[in-house]
């Protein structure tokens, strides 16, 4: 069975303002220890998830005083500013949910008290995707990028 078949999970913020359903495993889940992520989250690291947009559904919630509009912040990457990368954060809280990381990156700047599992995939900086990701993961990434690019170009043409 493929690693992406029969996958369904829900999660959300601790405050309940944002709930989501994932119908497919994420392409990759990074645990990033760079100093930018540390400053952005006020913590020792951040979880960053790459996934196909169509596999994520925001679930309407009731009783929340927050509108369901995640914060979208332009995020510098080691390659520079990227239209392909969008960071979503809850405006009331930052909660990681139920997803475990596939890889720990930028561990050269991780906090000294953070202990990584012995079996963790670890890189001191970023890493070459082509050497780390499976063929299936690379195909999903390229397909998601192509769909995102087509959608972005369509929106820009409408303006």
Q: Model confidence over 101-132: pLDDT tens digits?
A: 889 999 999 999 999 999 999 999 999 998 88
Least confident piece of the model among 17-26, 68-77, 103-112, 141-150: 68-77
The three-class DSSP label of residue 106 is coil
Q: Model confidence over 53-75: pLDDT tens digits?
A: 888 888 887 755 555 455 555 55
72, 107, 151 from 139: Cα distances, Å: 26, 27, 18
Q: Are 52 and 28 in contact (CB under 8 A)?
A: no
H-type alpha helices, 28-128: 35-41
pLDDT value, residue 99 = 72
pLDDT value, residue 91 = 47
Q: Is the pTM of this model over 0.85?
A: no
CB contact set of 77 (below 8 Å; sequence gap of 6+): 85
Choice between 67 and 44, residue whose per-residue pLDDT is larger: 44
In the predicted model, is pLDDT for residue 28 greater than 60?
Answer: yes
The three-class DSSP label of residue 17 is coil
Q: Are 103 and 126 in contact (CB under 8 A)?
A: no
pLDDT value, residue 89 = 54
The three-class DSSP label of residue 136 is helix
In the predicted model, is pLDDT for residue 26 greater than 80?
Answer: yes
In the predicted model, is pLDDT for residue 1 greater than 50?
Answer: no
Query: What burial class does residue 53 get, using C-beta atoms within 10 Å of its C-beta: 0-12 exposed, 13-18 middle, 19+ buried?
Result: exposed
The rounded distance, in Å, linking the Cα atoms of 156 and 150 is: 10
In the predicted model, is pLDDT for residue 136 greater than 60?
Answer: yes
């Amino acid at each position: 069975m493929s690693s992406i078949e029969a996958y369904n999970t829900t999660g959300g913020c601790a405050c309940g303002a944002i709930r989501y359903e994932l119908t497919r495993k994420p392409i990759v889940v990074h645990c990033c220890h760079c100093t930018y992520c540390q400053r952005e989250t006020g913590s020792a690291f951040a979880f960053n998830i790459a996934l196909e947009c169509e596999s994520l559904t925001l679930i309407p919630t009731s009783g929340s005083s927050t509108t369901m509009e995640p914060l979208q912040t332009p995020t510098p990457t080691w390659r520079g500013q990227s239209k392909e990368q969008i960071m979503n954060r809850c405006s009331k809280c930052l909660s990681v949910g139920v997803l475990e990381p596939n890889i720990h990156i930028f561990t050269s700047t991780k906090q000294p008290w953070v202990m990584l599992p012995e079996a963790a995939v670890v890189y001191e900086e970023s890493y070459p995707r082509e050497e780390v990701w499976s063929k299936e993961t690379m195909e999903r990434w390229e397909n998601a990028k192509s769909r995102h690019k087509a959608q972005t170009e369509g929106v820009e043409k409408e303006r």
